[in-house]
Structure 1
């Protein structure tokens, strides 16, 4: 059973996150150091430099020849279950939405496993659990975060093309405003304006070929698209032929990658300071986000784990790691692409605060249920 010393270890791992968060919040709210434009520039620094180098660094150190494929397959099945449910909801419900399907998928499946999941797994189940969580994080970076990046870029590029065509065919101020709302940088808008734009876009829909060409060019220019793939490729080479990365190269990567999580949390603090309310998305969306994170995600993982025949501690780790708080990367992407960043910031911050008692409750319950 987890003791107070183990709880302290987990809290010690989480505390630095909130130190960076408070510094970011204070730099704007109290000390007025950064302007709005400078805050956008900080988000781009995190999105295009520190985050991809952090992703490359942790991916390049795994052992790809000793992966737990049933565990990885269970994780994939759980995410496909969520995708199918959201696709059904988007198509069959009057409240269904492509944008909210993307957000709901991220909330229920993408976890902050490296920062919170690893120390928690170590105190609960030891090194075996740590290895599984790291493997899950690498697969999340390679497959699921890359897919998230693709659908976000597809959405923004499509809306920009539609807005561009509308503005060129009409002299309306409303169309000009639409162009501004979906412009480069992905500013967040209120009142579901993005949803309105998507429903108005049918008559101005760009060709699939043009759309995919533009999306491809955007993704090629985005280091997040291939940082984890290059890292995994290096891991294969390094483990197969026992090659070590040259010191000059490793040092160059580490000097930026070590700032990845810190600058991401600092950036989130800045975002919070720019909002009118501390819980920017409101109580209702906060509750929905917590339900998706701590109930829907683990439930889907339980389905995937049972389907793959996982048992014992591996099954327990699979379910608990699915309940780990929200991925910080998902907030960075949401802010960059203007898709519900207020929901993700609340999910990361509030989720991390309430996660420890929830995860301990899962741990205790699984000790009795899983054999």
Structure 2
């Protein structure tokens, strides 16, 4: 049972996030400090500097040799289930949409494990649960956020190429089914452009540099030089705060606080709190999890939406209003 002081620890961890969000919201909505162009610059600062450095910093300090492999396997199985279902829906349903499949994947699977999950799991199940949540966060950054980034870049590259064969109105119509367009360049030439763009995006390799360092450091018991550690920390500590500030700025620029409307809000809640945990329950049972590890696996799948997924959605122009609401 969670005690009052444990519940306070969760509130204590989350409250500063909403301070940053309110400051971002107020700076645009109430105080008119930033112009729309400056708001875009803030999001790019987060996307290309503070967020990748934050990702590298927490990844570099894990110990991959102590990971719970069945727990990670359950996480992978659950997300593969979601991918198969969404791919089938996009391909076979008359209402299927590749763009909405990308957003639905984010809503179902990508959680705010570090900021919300760590204090919550620590209060409920102790250090064991914290280790599992951190492992889940690292795997999310290594595999799933990388895949999300790749798909978003592939979509934007395809839209950019196709829109140069189209006028503005046609470009909007192509957004949902650009994947099926007959006047796109070849798949491999498009892939070449995508990989080139990803190579210039620090989000695509920060986590890999971090995990490589973690493997080397824990294998040979090395420590990062303090001068380098300090240089990373000074930007890393700003990562979560600036991401929430950017989310507040985005919300302030919308006509309504719940920008996506009631229907899409309910849709997002169903994916976040029902579909995601249900898929995790299937994956956890398939991987043979039991006891507190099983409970942690299911609960962490129902945590609030990943801040990183919103930052990516805003940068790549895909349903950012839905993810900000979530």
* TM-score between both structures, scaled by the size of structure 2: 0.98
> Which ranges of structure 2 fall in alignment gaps of 5 or more residues?
none
Structure 1 residue 89, shift from structure 2 partner: 1.1
Structure 1 residue 178, shift from structure 2 partner: 5.5
> Residue 219 of structure 2 corresponds to which residue in structure 1?
240
Structure 1 residue 56, shift from structure 2 partner: 0.1
- Aligned pairs for 1:210-225 (under 5 A) are 210-225=189-204
Structure 1 residue 177, shift from structure 2 partner: 5.5
> Residue 51 of structure 2 corresponds to which residue in structure 1?
51
1:95 paired to 2:102? no
- How far apart, in 2, do the equivalents of 1:99 and 1:332 lie? 16
Which deviations, in whole Å up to 9, do the C-alpha atoms of 1:114-155 show, x marking residues without a partner?
000000000100000000000000000000000000000000
- How far apart, in 2, do the equivalents of 1:131 and 1:234 lie? 19
SS of residue paired to 1:195: coil
> Residue 63 of structure 2 corresponds to which residue in structure 1?
63
- Aligned pairs for 1:153-302 (under 5 A) are 153-164=153-164, 166-167=165-166, 175-176=167-168, 194-195=175-176, 198=178, 202-302=181-281
Which deviations, in whole Å up to 9, do the C-alpha atoms of 1:165-200 show, x marking residues without a partner?
x15xxxxxxx14666x6xxxxxxxxxx77226x27x
- How far apart, in 1, do the equivalents of 2:151 and 2:200 lie? 16
Give the alignment's Cα RMSD to 1 decimal.
1.3
- How far apart, in 2, do the equivalents of 1:287 and 1:194 lie? 24
- Number of aligned residues: 326
Which deviations, in whole Å up to 9, do the C-alpha atoms of 1:279-336 show, x marking residues without a partner?
0000000001011001100000000000010000100000000001100000000000
* TM-score between both structures, scaled by the size of structure 1: 0.86
- How far apart, in 1, do the equivalents of 2:168 and 2:254 lie? 25
1:129 paired to 2:110? no
- How far apart, in 1, do the equivalents of 2:169 and 2:266 lie? 32
> Residue 80 of structure 1 corresponds to which residue in structure 2?
80
- How far apart, in 2, do the equivalents of 1:119 and 1:195 lie? 39
- How far apart, in 2, do the equivalents of 1:344 and 1:212 lie? 27
User: Which runs of 4 or more aligned residues in structure 1 lie more than 4 Å from their structure 2 counterparts after TM superposition?
Assistant: 176-179
1:149 paired to 2:132? no
Structure 1 residue 90, shift from structure 2 partner: 1.1
> Residue 29 of structure 1 corresponds to which residue in structure 2?
29
Instruction: Assess, with a 3 A threshold, how the Cα gap between structure 1 residues 89 and 44 changes in structure 2: closer, same or farther.
Output: same
- How far apart, in 1, do the equivalents of 2:225 and 2:317 lie? 39
- How far apart, in 1, do the equivalents of 2:34 and 2:125 lie? 43
Structure 1 residue 91, shift from structure 2 partner: 1.7
> Residue 310 of structure 2 corresponds to which residue in structure 1?
331
- How far apart, in 2, do the equivalents of 1:230 and 1:321 lie? 26
Which segment is superposed worse, 270-279 or 79-88? 79-88
Structure 1 residue 87, shift from structure 2 partner: 1.2
Which deviations, in whole Å up to 9, do the C-alpha atoms of 1:212-254 show, x marking residues without a partner?
0100110000000000000000001111111110111111111
